[in-house]
A and B are shown apart, each in its own frame.
Chain A
């Protein structure tokens, strides 16, 4: 399968990151008639009851998601596509884990998950992860495609470009 070129994956991946960020600012939690975005929701729930274990770490760092997305774009702009793809994969997995975890909670009483924000975030995370994987595949095939076999030794060598 031929991987899409960088001028396709880069904008699509960027759109994925923007969608993730947009999703996090949409409503995530409905308490009575009040809707809160992901940051306000995690902030209030953490103040009132706290999170534990791995969730605590992921949620404590959640407001830094914007910086993480910017970092992915900066690394990609610097031409380090493989590193950018790996970072994007991590950001996508982080966002998907948090949003997926939120969606898994059943509505109870007056306080319930507002699905709009988490769903948009999951969509963004899926796009980001898919483009990151495609970019990584493209990078790996690009590297391996540039090898040749030395007719004398029979060993594979990297071609010089």
Chain B
């Protein structure tokens, strides 16, 4: 293919747009080559200056204007590169524009209050300290995914939207001069005025129609909505104290903290002083995921609550370490457990953002009795004082069919759903995470993950079938 000298390169053999625009280039030369005389060239092949062939016949068409287009093309390309690159740079900045902590606790609360005043729920959630955000939101997100999978919630349900619950804050103010120092990384900011309105409406929760029919056959109850307004100024007047919000410092940045706020308000309302340096219990983890649970069970059986706090995650449960002394001091002495764990076998598996440790077998001694419980596939092996009993799913179904469901035995679909639910029991466990090479317990996450573990083996309509079964 012959092209003018400044034609763009065409490595793919694709036709250039210029070819479409210049019909004179598209005239095929089908004439047989001459047998003699000068070599032929097509009408657009211009001999090189000073070279060879004398031009005969009519004047040549004007040379292509490509030299005028080249700067334009270069300009368009440059604009595209600069514009596209800038757009992507700004886009990346925006997509990472999370709340990355504030310079002071007051700024952290100001930022939170700003989001509250604008009712920006996403912004409020984004303000939580990173470890708290992960601990709270990951299990909730998992629960919503499970609920959608099991046809409890519609597929449009979304954790970030918290459907059915609206919180709107207005004109929140706080007294900067009264910020209280708990320790070097926790301070309490005091709100003095403003209103927080909440509205919870069960009807707005995106339940599926089949779930609503089964769970509320008579329709949603009349008290399915709840709303109210908290006037902070009224609270301050009634209690004589401002509303306390704790902020936590992580790597030099301040975040509003839900867990520290709960701990601070609990301690304050109990009339206790803020924890001092002597109340701090340093984290001291275990070597493996299973080991941390074994040590926790051993500590629990001996009533060693300080050790339990040591084993708690310094990320998720830093608050437990700071308030550890106060917590241990307030545990009643008579609450010491009265059992011994003789043997404990565990298994672990990876779950979203953590490792879940579950039971394989346990042997517990209480005064005059020894009990062993082992999980063997779908069966539970229970040995009480040498008396061995094997409880399998089929046994439970048999008992149900002989007992409460004698008149109308379980259908195959119900048996299958029940079997799946029982399969979920051994899934229940404790979530643990690793920090600086040591393993720690994550109590908040474990609690929120309970239902996820239990319902994990349920499939399709199993949950709805079980719900219907419960209403028999």
Contacts and interface: CB of A to CB of B under 8 A. Distances in A.
Contact of B76 (A47, A77, A108): A77
Interface in A12-62: 14, 21, 24-25, 29, 31-34, 36-37, 39-40, 42-50, 52, 62
Q: Tell me the interface secondary structure of chain B in the complex.
A: helix
Contact of B94 (A5, A21, A40): A40
Contacts of A155: none
Interface residues of B, number: 70
B47 interface: no
A81 B88 contact: no
Contact of A148 (B28, B84, B161): B28
Contacts of A77: 73-74, 76-77, 80
Contacts of A44: 98, 122-123, 126, 160
Contact of B91 (A29, A63, A80): A63
Contact of A33 (B21, B80, B120): B120
B17 interface: yes
B10 interface: yes
Contact of B126 (A47, A63, A71): A47
B120 A31 contact: yes
A79 to B, nearest CB: 4
B26 interface: yes
Given A78-B9, A139-B14, A111 B160 contact: yes
Which of B11, B30, B76, B206 has most A Cβ within 10 Å?
B76
Contacts of A106: 156
B376 interface: no
B159 to A, nearest CB: 4
A34 B80 contact: no
B15 to A, nearest CB: 6
B133 interface: yes
Interface in A66-112: 66-71, 73-74, 77-83, 105-106, 108-111
A70 to B, nearest CB: 2
Nearest to A148: B28
A45 to B, nearest CB: 5
Nearest to B29: A160
Nearest to B18: A79
B91 A111 contact: no
B351 interface: no
B166 interface: yes
Contacts of A111: 121-122, 160-162
Contact of B28 (A14, A37, A159): A159
Interface string B269-285: 00000000000000000
Contacts of B204: 108-109
B160 A109 contact: no
Contacts of B83: 21, 66, 70
A68 B84 CA distance: 7
A67 to B, nearest CB: 5
17 contacts: A31-B123, A34-B115, A34-B123, A40-B97, A44-B123, A47-B133, A49-B144, A52-B145, A67-B84, A67-B87, A70-B83, A77-B74, A79-B10, A81-B14, A106-B156, A146-B26, A160-B1
Interface of B: 1-2, 7-12, 14-21, 25-26, 28-30, 73-74, 76-77, 80-81, 83-92, 94-98, 115, 118-123, 125-126, 133, 137, 141, 144-145, 156, 158-168, 204, 206
